[in-house]
Amino acid sequence: MKKKIFALGLAACVAASLAACGGSKPAETTAAATDTTAAGTEAEASTTAEGKTEAESTEGEKAAAGTGELQTVTAGKLTVATSPDFAPYEFYAIGEDGNPSLAGFDMALAQYIADDLGLELEVVTVDFDGVLSELQTKSVDLGMAGLSPDPKRESIMAFSDLYYMGGQSLVTVKDKADLYKSFEDINKPEVSVGAQIGSIQMDLATMNSPVADIVALPKVTDIIAELLAGKMDAAYIETDVAKSYQKNYPELEIIMEVPYDQEGSSIGVCKGNDALLAAVNGSIAKALEDGSMERFIAEANELASGEKYEGLLDESGQVQQ
């Protein structure tokens, strides 16, 4: 498995200007209940991390929450696995100097959580199925990759509260839009339908297109390339990700929204680390409440409409040609 480790700078994110974005949905705006739950957990986080109640903690102690008692895979660091083929969640923004830097609202939230917990952020980049296995083997503290809280994953990770509400879509190319308008049109043996390995989109494909020729690929980028090359007919992709690729490749066409009952993104937390889970939920609640999450989404969308790269870097940290 290819794996790269970064100490995240996020300079590009900070430099980006704010942009109003139609598709941005922090979890609080569409899931008021989540906000309440998350806010409730924040107090719990302080209690767990400090061994004191909110009332007993001083401001200074709260600022240092977690540094003393949180156990992480590397002491003093928050190690986060991600799969940067997924703008606006995570991708590489190409700076003016031509160099790629990790960006996206998951990465901005990762930095926010690390800062909030007084830890240094370290990001491990792998394909999406690698994010799942890094969590399973407890090689990382968190997986942040637009991860759906799929109950089937509960044996290998814990889920944080939701921090973003996204949806699922079925995608094709303009040339084929007349052929593929419904699940029935796609559910045929001669129709090839793509989804990312290890993703819930694979489940959506087998559920909604059981008869079709389902093609599983490691990166969303590979799926898009196959669609554009005419080798694949349709694919199941997260809606905001499909829209982001559409900006670069207007020949992509979203056929329809696909129902899915575990909507929204949560953070995968190393199983058994209840203190970290509580602390992460506390940070998510803060980011939703203080407007940071909204800003991260706007910045990510702005950056994602500029020059970007989606995939893994080569050994020298450069974009793979």
* Residue appearing with tokens 């207007």: 250
Decide whether 49 or 165 has the Cβ nearer to ligand ARG: 165
Decide whether 66 or 130 has the Cβ nearer to ligand ARG: 130
Backbone angles phi, psi at 82, to 5 degrees: -145, 170
Decide whether 120 or 203 has the Cβ nearer to ligand ARG: 203
**Pair 142, 273: CB distance under 8 Å:** no
Residue 22, both tokens: 């139609």
Residue 103, both tokens: 């960006």
Report the Cα–Cα distance between both ends of the chain, in Å, rounded. Answer: 19
Q: Which stretch binds ligand ARG (CB under 6 A): 93-101, 141-149, 242-250, 297-305?
A: 141-149
User: Any idea what the Cα angle at residue 100 is, between residues 94 and 102, rounded to 5°?
Assistant: 105
Minimum separation from the CB atom of position 231 to ligand ARG (A): 20
Q: Which stretch binds ligand ARG (CB under 6 A): 22-30, 139-147, 245-253, 275-283?
A: 139-147
Say how far residue 320 (Cα) sits from the centre of its chain.
21
| 147 counts as binding ligand ARG under rule CB under 6 A | yes
**Please, which residues bridge with residue 7 across strands?**
122
Decide whether 203 or 213 has the Cβ nearer to ligand ARG: 203
For residues 41 to 60, the per-residue mask of contacts with ligand ARG, x marking binding by CB under 6 A and - elsewhere, is --------------------
Distance in angstroms (rounded) separating the CA atoms of residues 95 and 199: 30
Size of the site for ligand ARG (CB under 6 A): 15
Show the DSSP H helices in 290-319 as ranges. Answer: 292-304
Decide whether 226 or 289 has the Cβ nearer to ligand ARG: 226
* Residue appearing with tokens 């991600």: 82
Minimum separation from the CB atom of position 72 to ligand ARG (A): 22
Residue list 231-260, contact with ligand ARG (CB under 6 A): 238
Minimum separation from the CB atom of position 89 to ligand ARG (A): 6
Backbone angles phi, psi at 251, to 5 degrees: -75, -10
Minimum separation from the CB atom of position 264 to ligand ARG (A): 9
Residue list 186-215, contact with ligand ARG (CB under 6 A): 196, 199-200
Minimum separation from the CB atom of position 237 to ligand ARG (A): 9
Residue list 77-136, contact with ligand ARG (CB under 6 A): 83, 85-86, 89-90, 128
Decide whether 263 or 307 has the Cβ nearer to ligand ARG: 263
Closest CA to 166 of 86, 246, 284, 255: 86
Decide whether 86 or 112 has the Cβ nearer to ligand ARG: 86
Q: By three-state DSSP, how is residue 308 classified?
A: strand
Decide whether 82 or 292 has the Cβ nearer to ligand ARG: 82
Distance in angstroms (rounded) separating the CA atoms of residues 215 and 286: 40
**Mutual orientation of helices 239-248 and 292-304 as an angle, nearest 10°?**
30
Give the footprint of ligand ARG on this chain (CB under 6 A): 83, 85-86, 89-90, 128, 145-148, 196, 199-200, 220, 238
